[in-house]
Structure 1
Amino acid sequence: MMDEPIRPKEELFVTVSEASRILGVSKRTIHNWLERGTLKFWKTPGGHVRIPETSVNALLEDRHRQMELQERQSACSILIVEDDPIVIDYYETSMNHWNLPIRLNIAENGFQGLIQLVKERPDLIVTDLRMQGMDGFELIRNLQMRDDLKDIRIVVISVLQPHEIQEKGGLPAGIPVFGKPPPLEQIRKIVMEILRSRNRRMLRFSGTE
């Protein structure tokens, strides 16, 4: 049985039908939320339910935050570590036309890349090797020393030849190395693999696979 809170003064209210339309749910769902206290309400002398707009807006904002969180969790986070603005623009312009759920973060050297890693752990790092400050070699060495980061997928894009890479200490096994311009179709395939793997994990977790 729903309680009937006293109507506050100077506040705007909506009906159950209006709340249903604003929140995009059925009237039954609205009544369930009223029963559970998810939405505040009061009743008119005639017995009609009135819901404060502030309560509806607060729930709407909460639902939007939850949707944004779900979108962030399902998207592939890509960290681009590159100091050439032309190449950065090439990445951004091309990847934003992939029509895939991705988030791009940009760092201009390895040090900035490590700072970005603190803010958000990426699913994929696409890095140059030769950069001012901390270069790609040192960035990758730092990642390999961290148990919580060494499993991040890395793609190297560099003009350095294989013997030049070896002269600078080489790279861990399993890291693909491509020349410039970046082979975006190859990178896109890796992103698709990450997204498919994530979808399979989500299906197993939900028990629908």
Structure 2
Amino acid sequence: MEVKNLENPKDYLSTRQSARYLQVSLGTVQKMVETGELLAWKTQGGHRRILTSSLEQLLKRRRLGIRQRCGAQFLLLAIMKREASFEGFSALTEHWKSEVNLHMSADSLEALMQAVSLAPDVIYIDAQISPVEQVHLTSYLSKNTHTRNIPILVEDGFLKLHPQILDISPENKVLMDSGTNSIRVGKKHKNPLIRSYKSDLLLLENGATNIKFSEKLEALILDCMAKKCEAA
């Protein structure tokens, strides 16, 4: 379906820009226009202009379908600072709409072995774990053949203080300076599987589950699952 009326330049993209936006080929975008999946109009020179609102709606429909297929249930490995946090985190997941197979560990070495043996869909790293330990955990998980394609959730404040953690990718050579606990990287390829969450209390002062944090964390995990399924 093609729309003839002219739109504001900010409201449309070219076919090539649309292909980059959707991460598909030019031919795929052209077919989507012809089949009516995308709304477009043509310039006097015959060039297609695709409505950004149409592109956004297509992505929403895709994400919804992927979440329905891939987000119904998942295996989550939570690496916590202490075992005392297990109960609070477990209570957090009880309010999720998705079915979660939850595994937790308060020992980094045990967690790394679990990550390899269980092959979880997502790995959550507790904000209370020391920055040095988080760096080592993220580095191993991102470089190991068995775990490097698993999304890793780290706390937002940690990521802001250590943005170089995003450079820990299978394509990069990473060196850890034991004297300064800093990371040195050769070529830089950002790791899209490292995502951040805003830390909050697992339980409120009255002992009730922090529902807002629970909902935000589930939404982030579902988004990770959707992108993982898209890339599969």
TM-score (norm 2): 0.44
Larger radius of gyration: 1
Query: Which structure carries more strand by proportion?
Result: 2
